[in-house]
Amino acid sequence: MNNQTYVNWSGHHLKLTWLQNYRVEDFSKVTSVHGVCFYHGNVLLVHVAGRGFNFPGGHIEIGETPEEAFHREALEEGYVMGNINYIGAIEVSHEENPLFNADSKYPLIGYQMFYSMEIQECLPFLREHETISRIWVEPEEVPYVINDHEFANIVLQAALSNKPSYKGKHVEKVIDTKF
């Protein structure tokens, strides 16, 4: 599977590159953190208002490490807590983006860091934040439900490769890119 793709996010032409196990050294270039959360063999997907179903995640707040930010996002969006492992990053390049604004909050080259989580505690879903629902999906069904770029499947594969019960298995890529 190709580890590079182009997307159009709100008119911005961006190049995305999946970097499995890549260690981001400069956290000031990390624009968001996300993760694949597993519970009883299923994957947690959250429906954030206006974005559809996806893996939990979001922006790092001032003073947080990426790990702390992901734990917070998983709790706020999915009401889950657990142990996490870093699996890689998507490099987001604006180098070919004619609309790039050097004064924006996004760097010319930034990173979205990804984790896998083995959920240890699943709390009642209270809808206190921007998430309107959560669902549990068999890993093989995630590509039919998630509404994101094609790297969602690559991220899922990286997370599954950390799970002993899924080693050697492959989930088919069926995600349609809607850009």
The DSSP string of 27-86 is GGGEEEEEEEEEETTEEEEEEETTTEEE-SEEPPPTT--HHHHHHHHHHHHH-EEEEEEE
Q: Identify the pLDDT of residue 75.
A: 98
Cβ atoms of 23 and 87 closer than 8 Å? no
Length of the chain in terms of residues written: 179
Residues 29-42 have a mean pLDDT of 97
Distance CA 133, CA 52 (A): 10
Out of 23-27, 160-164, 165-169, the most confident range is: 23-27
Q: Identify the pLDDT of residue 50.
A: 84
User: How far does the chain reach from its first CA to its final CA, in angstroms?
Assistant: 19
Domains of the chain in sequence order = 4-166 (3.90.79.10)
In the predicted structure, residue 169 carries a pLDDT above the cut 80: no
Q: Identify the pLDDT of residue 73.
A: 97
Q: What is the DSSP letter of 155?
A: H
Average per-residue pLDDT for the chain: 89
Distance CA 146, CA 139 (A): 11
In the predicted structure, residue 165 carries a pLDDT above the cut 60: no
Helix (H, G, I), strand (E, B) or coil at 157: helix
Minimum mean pLDDT range among 40-54, 100-114, 138-152: 138-152
Query: By percentage, how much of the chain surpasses pLDDT 90?
Result: 75
In the predicted structure, residue 121 carries a pLDDT above the cut 90: yes
Q: State pTM to two decimals.
A: 0.88
In the predicted structure, residue 117 carries a pLDDT above the cut 90: yes
